[in-house]
Amino acid sequence: MKLLKLVIVDDEPILLQGLLDTYDWADMGFKVVGSAQSGEQAIEVIKETKPHVVLTDIRMKQITGLMVMEEIQKTDMDCMFIVLSAYRDFDYAQQACDLGAFAYLLKPIEDEKLRETMEAAYRTCMEQMEQEARYESWEKLLVKDGTSFQQVVVQNYVRDRLPEEKVEEVFRTLGDMPGNEERFITVYADIDVVYKITDYLDYEAARFALLKRLEEELESRYFCWRADGEETGSAFIVRTTDKEAVGKLKHFLEYIKKEEQSRVIAAISKPYKGIAGIKRSYVEARKLFEIASVSGAGAFTSPEGVELPDQAATAGESGDVDNLIVNAVRRNSEKELKEAFVQFVYGLPHEEEQQRQHLHRMMLKVELMLQASYGLSEDIREKFRGYYDNLGTIGAAKMVDVCYRILCAAIEVRKSDAKQDETRYFKEYMSEAVAYIEEHLRDEELSIVSVASHIYLNPVYFGRVFKNTFHMTFKQYLLQQRMEKAKKLLEEGKGSIGDICEAVGIHNPSYFSHVFKQYTGKLPSEYKKEYEG
């Protein structure tokens, strides 16, 4: 095993010596190349030894661990920080995370947790070093085939396998940096996976034909790169100066969906600038594709001014009970939260102080996840803050109940936010649906199915979004529109009752009179008399 360089920092001599002597660092993949008892000394040792990893206490006199991190970030050194802190130092821990700390460990350190963290740090460092080595070999390909190499680089970049600065370096080397007028738009498309269940061979054939056609058609219109999804869908990243490209792409995809009899699921990102815009457009299109897959949308786009929430994960290994709780909150599932929380409580140690540490660690992970995604409202933020402030004064048994209540409240906020976001994403679809209803109000066959089909959405999903948008069911809205139009026609004295029945799509006069009286309290003839003469 190749040993990586490690520097250990703690301003308490006894604790520092304990860290140096107690653990078998070589067994975890590290060789201690230096240590320091102050922040100032730590900066000197780090600059001199250039370690791969620094294990440092946060709270130190004069120069804190945070200051050490900030100072090292100013240099060209690329070393990883693992920070140590008491549970009361949450603000320090949060700042350390903001500065890019790899991990945060509570004092007193649990041996198993330290080993897990150091081994994870070792794997991450080795992966980064291997990635850099691969990139150096890739540079040689530039001489042979710049275009193909660029395709490989972009595909790895959008999948988080290459950092932005490396991609910029490739584009700059090729003399192909994006201009001020250029934008990147990602089209993400596939055949609806439902058809895979009903006819696997037909699904695969249709999928192959669709992606081949998209590749040919898009390449004939624009310069683009292709990046196949890891599970479903393929992305086509379009590079263009055409300001109307999003509209043209949407029209093109809706045309294909009609040809394929609604089997195509597709999403289109907004246009973005620069190298960062390549990934931003890809991530947005992929998230929109997930929404489109549920809704059945044919060429789904995000409305202007609406940003998709970042669902960045902050959890560690999936087997960790803490992360079961984090994932339950992330999925807004009270049922999963209850099951995970019961498992968490039964796994708490007997000592009250250790129980507090476990609770603190779990709550910190949840708050960081909320901060990285959505749901951390001011009220929820205050609940977390109150929890941290009282962690050392209230009994652990009471704190368990407090934690559960805070997590349930966070799920409620996230559900509300998600419902609002869903309404915003489908704003354009709802506007088109309302216009279609108004235009076809006299059609007796007008239904939720026909309207959903017109705007390329799944009827069940459309019904849910429609209700969230207008706070009434589709059936209630349709009846309201028909009755309001009937009232207007009666007030204006235009046509007979039979004519009005035809105009509002209720061709049975008896049924129309019955419904109208339920809606207004009067028969159509009575209502009409009030406006005559």
What is the model's pLDDT at position 400?
Answer: 87
- Kindly report whether the global pTM for this prediction surpasses the value 0.75: no
- The closest of 433, 92, 149, 297 to 81, measured between CA atoms, is 92
In this structure, what token pair is assigned to residue 225?
């790169």
What is the model's pLDDT at position 259?
Answer: 78
**Which residues share a beta bridge with 5?**
31
Q: Are strands 223-228 and 300-301 parallel, antiparallel or unpaired?
A: unpaired
What is the model's pLDDT at position 55?
Answer: 94
Length, in residues, of the chain = 533
- The closest of 389, 486, 504 to 437, measured between CA atoms, is 504
Helices (H) and strands (E) in the chain, counts: 23, 10
Q: Distance between CA atoms of 289 and 348, rounded to whole angstroms?
A: 41
What is the model's pLDDT at position 328?
Answer: 87
What is the model's pLDDT at position 85?
Answer: 81
Fold of 427-529: Arc Repressor Mutant, subunit A (1.10.10)
Which parts of the chain have pLDDT scores under 70? Answer: 87-94, 135-147, 193-200, 229-232, 260-262, 293-320, 372, 418-425, 533
What is the model's pLDDT at position 3?
Answer: 95
In the sheet with 223-228, reading across from the earlier edge strand, the strands are 223-228, 234-240, 183-191, 264-268, 300-301
- The closest of 291, 292, 370, 290 to 326, measured between CA atoms, is 370
**Strands of 95-162, DSSP E:** 103-106
Residues 6 or more apart whose Cβ sits within 8 Å of residue 177: 168, 171, 275
What architecture is domain 4-129? 3-Layer(aba) Sandwich (3.40)
Q: Distance between CA atoms of 5 and 126, rounded to whole angstroms?
A: 12
Q: Distance between CA atoms of 523 and 147, rounded to whole angstroms?
A: 74
Pick the CATH number of 181-301 from 3.40.1780.10, 3.30.70.270, 2.40.50.140, 3.20.20.140: 3.30.70.270
Helix (H) or strand (E) holding 300: strand 300-301
Q: Distance between CA atoms of 143 and 198, rounded to whole angstroms?
A: 48
- The closest of 121, 76, 82, 138 to 105, measured between CA atoms, is 82
- Contact between 344 and 325 (Cβ < 8 Å): yes
What is the model's pLDDT at position 310?
Answer: 46
Q: Are strands 103-106 and 80-85 parallel, antiparallel or unpaired?
A: parallel
